[in-house]
Amino acid sequence: MSTEDQIEDINALEQKFQARIDAEQKIEPKDWMPDAYRKNLIRQISQHAHSEVIGMQPEGNWITRAPSLRRKAVLLAKVQDEAGHGLYLYSATETLGISRAELIAALQDGSAKYASIFNYPTQTWGDVGAIGWLVDGAAICNQVSLQRTSYGPYARGMIRICKEESFHQRQGYQIMIELAHGTPEQKQMAQDSLNRFYWPSLMMFGPHDSESAHSARSMQWKIKRETNDDLRQKFIDQTVPQIEYLGLEHPDKDLKWNEERGHYDSGEIDWEEFQNVINGNGHCNRQRIQHHVKAHEEGAWVRDAQNAYDQKRRARKASTAA
């Protein structure tokens, strides 16, 4: 077959593939897909998985210091949920032909990214509330639409993840309510946490669509269903009444309702800070990865034991069948 014929065949396959996407049909692991679609999915889903796993660290730091036994149990359950989310997402990524070991190696050598928000330290108990309310709230804005993403394993995994993230958001907001309606010192703690986590939460949606390297293609393939800017606007609009209910001051002093648009106009994000954090120069970038590497190495014996057990089980099954 000539090169021209091969190109025509690929073009025909890509047209059929896009027609399936446009018809809202799910793409499954054994279906044909363009290499660029596969790579885009691996990047997005693995980044999502890494974020869930790294995101355990700033909250896990407060499990032993939670102010009550009930708070400890709830936070422990939440961190456990995040581990489960990472497992679902790594498993979904593996259906695209990449191994878990490759995914983790990319995270640890810095070639794969995770959500920039998790490179900020949790300095007080109020930060745990702010993460649940703002960070998981921002995640929900993005992830609800991902239940309709074009790749089947990713879409199905997001159904359970969204349900659990909704619990996390309510848990965080409940902490903020108690602090904001508590003593003056507690209210100040809530305000301080809001001030520090509000802007980084807006950065979670990524750069403006005009500056995003992947947004247009992801929208065409319906990997993403809403743009970065639309999702960020939705989050801003829903957060305003929540801040008002808490009786706290909004961190964005340029915030203003736009009657014509039907949305809030907001101040500009510090994109230089965003770039610094995602490029490894945030407050906790090195600490987060070092902790992950240490935990991964210390857990090697568990993986070795599981692999040995699986090999013995397969050998036993083979001998019984023979």
Alpha helix positions (H), the chain? 3-22, 35-54, 56-60, 69-94, 100-108, 125-130, 136-146, 152-180, 184-203, 215-220, 228-246, 271-276, 285-298, 300-321
The Cβ-side half-sphere exposure at 293, using a 13 Å CA radius, reads: 12
- Inter-residue contact 101 to 46 (CB < 8 Å): no
What is the H or E stretch that residue 259 is in? none
Q: Given this model, what pLDDT does residue 10 score?
A: 75
Per residue in 122-138, pLDDT (tens digit) is 999 999 999 999 999 99
Chain centre to alpha carbon of residue 101: 20
pTM (2 d.p.): 0.91
Residue pLDDT tens, the chain, 322 long: 566 656 667 788 999 999 999 999 999 999 999 999 999 999 999 999 999 999 999 999 999 999 999 999 999 999 999 999 999 999 999 999 999 999 999 999 999 999 999 999 999 999 999 999 999 999 999 899 999 999 999 999 999 999 999 999 999 999 999 999 999 999 999 999 999 999 999 999 988 887 776 788 899 999 999 999 999 999 999 999 999 999 999 999 999 999 999 999 999 999 999 999 988 888 999 999 999 999 999 999 999 999 999 999 999 988 888 6
HEC sequence for 134-199: HHHHHHHHHHHHHCCCCEHHHHHHHHHHHHHHHHHHHHHHHHHHHHHCCCHHHHHHHHHHHHHHHH
d(CA 235, CA 297): 38
- Inter-residue contact 140 to 78 (CB < 8 Å): no
The Cβ-side half-sphere exposure at 182, using a 13 Å CA radius, reads: 15
Q: Given this model, what pLDDT does residue 280 score?
A: 86
Phi, psi (deg, nearest 5) at residue 253 = -75, -10
Q: Given this model, what pLDDT does residue 217 score?
A: 87
Query: C-alpha angle 151/155/159, rounded to 5°?
Result: 175
Per residue in 176-234, pLDDT (tens digit) is 999 999 999 999 999 999 999 999 999 999 888 877 767 888 999 999 999 999 999 99
First CA to last CA across the chain, in angstroms?
Answer: 45
Structure tokens that stand for 293 in this block: 């590497």
Q: Given this model, what pLDDT does residue 121 score?
A: 95
Q: Given this model, what pLDDT does residue 107 score?
A: 96
